[in-house]
Amino acid sequence: MSGAARLLQDVFGFDDFRPGQGEIVEAVADGENVLAIMPTGGGKSLCFQLPALMRDGVTVVISPLIALMRDQVRALQEAGVSAGALTSGNTPEETDAVFEALEAGRLKLLYMAPERLAAGAAVGLLRRAGVSLIAVDEAHCVSQWGHDFRPDYLRIGALRRDLNVPLAAFTATADAETQAEIVEKLFDGVAPRAFLRGFDRPNIHLAFAAKDGPRRQILDFAAARKGQSGIVYCGTRAKTESLAAALREAGHTTLHYHGGMEAEDRRIAETRFQREDGLIVVATVAFGMGVDKPDIRWVAHADLPKSIEAYYQEIGRAGRDGAPAETLTLFGPEDIRLRRSQIDEGLASPERRAADHGRLNALLGLAEALKCRRRTLLQYFDETDVSCGNCDLCDRPADVFDGTTAVRKALSAILRTDEWFGAGHLIDILTGNETDKVRQRGHQTLPTYGVGTEYDRRQWQAIFRQMMGHDLVRPDPERHGALRMTDAALPLLRDETSIELRRDSIRAAASTRRPAVKAMVSEEDAPLLSALKAKRRAFAEAAKAPAYVIFNDRTLIEMAETRPQSLDDMARIGGVGAKKLERYGAAFLEVIVGEAQQMHPTRRKLAGREAGTVYDRLLAVQADLTRGADGVEKPLSCSASLLAKVAQMRNADPSALERLLGDRRAERFGPAFLDVLREAS
Ligand code: ADP
Ligand code: ZN
């Protein structure tokens, strides 16, 4: 085993590198200058933490966010690595401890806020400390054109020159201009070795839905994920507050967050979200940079994001630990109108506006996609080699129909009314709905009047929305949002091409059923997972640290599913390094073994099998009927071994069950047991 692989296992408890990590670690450890672009959650921190342990001297890590630095330092210390941070958030004792460790030559990683570099003493301090590597997290903060610009990042280039040590820069922002700026500002224009990792986030489930009672849609989505940490993004500040209130009413622990709040309140919200398990934050996009929580299990958009890049970044906050995460993005015609007018009314140059419309179009194309969302999304980032099976359209193919004639009728209604009307009036014309407005304008005499009766109002709304999504028509802000045809629609009008549309409005009506609660593990492992989480919470609270610093969700899921029975087994779980094994192994093992011991031995024999789950249901059903359906009869029950036999019955029918149970028990439990068995088969 190579040194890197051993450290990976011993210190971090991981068996394998994530894609790309291995090469980056090697290059950084070899002292090359490196620029690594990896998607959020790709595991960037490991790419400088591991080399730091492999190299002599101290690695200084520049990172923009104090809270995140503190958490990373905590996590490293938990893993037994000597790490410290110098930030304005330190207590004097913490700062003293860092200096002491530096002087004693014990410190391996020193985290620093960029502001520190402004202080003259910093360079001298770092030189004396024997810094041998600079790692720059969120390197795009050096870009003056990006919205995360940090002026102090511009000092990093000089620091590299002064110390004359290699530098490794990391970011998730991939566009070419930002990359060029990073090379210019951090590496004095000399191109470093660059690593570009793909943009796929396979553990994130992608889904879109047309708005259809959006508040209820969000509440349903959250209800099915109760107790899991999530973010709901909203288009307006007011909505974050009202939706947060609705979620709270539905029994979720929920906070709102937006740029109009006091800095202190925002900080409190960020910290609570970071620390607590199972909190929902309803936020505007202002909630972003400060969020570095690896175990966000879901992200929902109550309103359409502004571009495909924004969408990717926002959903990308989910599932950074690699465990399954889910997303839902809602959209409707009013979103499209809003986003278009924001672009049109902005102060950007005409070229910039055209580009912004293009980025919005890409997102709308994704929203109205008929095939795999992931493929559509990644195509935009020029990735073509994509496998999925983890999006709503892979789960259930879109129900499509040839919409060419419908679209042509709609376009004709638009053109014959000189592009002066919105969808509502146009639908009145198409469906032959003689309103006052129709009569006033004499539109009942148009040749298109009443030619669209094959669809009802809702269906026409879906057609118009999709026409906007395909950018065949655009709302014109100068005409109060009246729909105007774009050049993209010409081939359809000329009969040169055809178009497929989704039949979503019909489906929407049918899907109002409450979704079942989604669990992160199978029903059988769920109680153990909650017990493990409770144990983790206890440790986290005692240490005043976020839960994932103890173990992340993925690690707990693996424990719940594989049920290690000894510390040796425990050591093989991903995320359990030597230090953590020593510190927490026994406590978590006790939870697992204890759970198993509570099980009846007969039941334990069925563990991990379908029959085990059936056994549990039979037991529950039996408990309800112990004293008969009305609760007044003589108590009666079946022995564990009898229940186990029932649970393992094949082709159960009333007479077979009666033979097994005997008359009295068959009478009391037979029908209910049969239901359980039928449901299971
Ligand atoms: P980012 O690239 O967004 O900075 P992080 O460095 O925070 O990502 O890593 C995200 C998550 O992935 C963390 O929870 C980390 O523990 C986990 N992780 C990193 N590398 C590995 C690996 N090789 N195997 C398993 N999990 C890993
Ligand atoms: Zn897919």
Phi-psi region of 96 (alpha: psi -120 to 50; beta: other; left: phi over 0): alpha
pLDDT for 418: 95
Q: Is the pLDDT of residue 275 over 70?
A: yes
Q: Which ligand is nearest to the CA of 20?
A: 1
Q: Is the pLDDT of residue 138 over 90?
A: yes
Nearest atom in ligand 1 to the alpha carbon of residue 39 is: 2
Beta-carbon neighbours within 5 Å of ion ligand 2: 372, 374, 388, 391, 394
Maximum average pLDDT range among 484-498, 504-518, 591-605: 484-498
- Beta-carbon neighbour count of residue 572 at 10 Å? 13
For ligand 1, whether the C-beta of 201 sits within 6 Å is no
State the amino acid at position 477 in one-letter form: P
Cα(327) to ligand 2 centroid in Å equals 13
Cα(397) to ligand 2 centroid in Å equals 9
Find the Cα–Cα–Cα–Cα dihedral 246, 249, 253, 254, rounded to 10°: 20
Helix then strand then coil, in percent of the chain rounded to 5, is 50, 10, 35
Nearest atom in ligand 1 to the alpha carbon of residue 322 is: 12
What is the average per-residue pLDDT within 295-302?
96
For ligand 1, whether the C-beta of 40 sits within 6 Å is yes
pLDDT digits (tens, 9 = 90+) for 610-660: 888 888 888 888 888 888 888 788 888 888 888 999 998 887 888 888 888
For ligand 1, whether the C-beta of 574 sits within 6 Å is yes
For ligand 1, whether the C-beta of 319 sits within 6 Å is no
Q: Is the pLDDT of residue 24 over 90?
A: yes
Lookup: tokens for 301: 């958009």
Q: Is the pLDDT of residue 329 over 50?
A: yes
What's this model's pTM, rounded to 2 decimal places? 0.72
What is the average per-residue pLDDT within 56-63?
96
pLDDT for 597: 63
What DSSP state is assigned to residue 518?
Answer: P
Q: Is the pLDDT of residue 510 over 50?
A: no
pLDDT for 608: 66
Give the H/E segment covering residue 280: strand 280-283
What is the average per-residue pLDDT within 565-593?
90
For ligand 1, whether the C-beta of 11 sits within 6 Å is no
pLDDT for 479: 82
Nearest atom in ligand 1 to the alpha carbon of residue 18 is: 23
What is the average per-residue pLDDT within 285-307?
89
| In contact, 289 and 273? CB cutoff 8 Å | no
What DSSP state is assigned to residue 585?
Answer: I
Nearest atom in ligand 1 to the alpha carbon of residue 45 is: 6
| In contact, 125 and 95? CB cutoff 8 Å | no
Q: Is the pLDDT of residue 513 over 60?
A: no
SS3 (DSSP) at 252: coil
For ligand 1, whether the C-beta of 42 sits within 6 Å is yes
What is the average per-residue pLDDT within 56-68?
90
For ligand 1, whether the C-beta of 316 sits within 6 Å is no
For ligand 1, whether the C-beta of 551 sits within 6 Å is no
CA–CA gap between residue 599 and residue 596 (Å, rounded): 5
Q: Which ligand is nearest to the CA of 8?
A: 1
pLDDT for 505: 45
Cα(501) to ligand 2 centroid in Å equals 18
What is the average per-residue pLDDT within 11-29?
92
Nearest atom in ligand 1 to the alpha carbon of residue 38 is: 2
CA–CA gap between residue 108 and residue 120 (Å, rounded): 23
Please tell me the residue having the least CA distance from ligand 1 atom 11. Answer: 321
For ligand 1, whether the C-beta of 76 sits within 6 Å is no
SS3 (DSSP) at 210: strand
pLDDT digits (tens, 9 = 90+) for 69-104: 888 999 999 999 999 999 888 889 988 999 899 888
Cα(329) to ligand 2 centroid in Å equals 15
What is the average per-residue pLDDT within 130-156?
91
Cα(138) to ligand 1 centroid in Å equals 15
Q: Is the pLDDT of residue 506 over 60?
A: no
Q: Is the pLDDT of residue 511 over 50?
A: no
pLDDT digits (tens, 9 = 90+) for 407-428: 999 999 999 999 999 999 999 9
Q: Is the pLDDT of residue 62 over 50?
A: yes
Name the phi and psi angles at 441, rounded to 5: -90, -5
Q: What is the percent of the chain where pLDDT is above 90?
A: 54
CA–CA gap between residue 616 and residue 169 (Å, rounded): 53
For ligand 1, whether the C-beta of 298 sits within 6 Å is no
pLDDT for 518: 67
Cα(40) to ligand 2 centroid in Å equals 20
Cα(322) to ligand 1 centroid in Å equals 8
Please spell the DSSP secondary structure of 65-114, one letter per residue: -HHHHHHHHHHHHHTT--EEEE-TT--HHHHHHHHHHHHTT--SEEEE-G
To the nearest whole number, what is the mean pLDDT of the chain? 89
Q: Beta strands 473-476 and 400-402: pairing type? A: unpaired
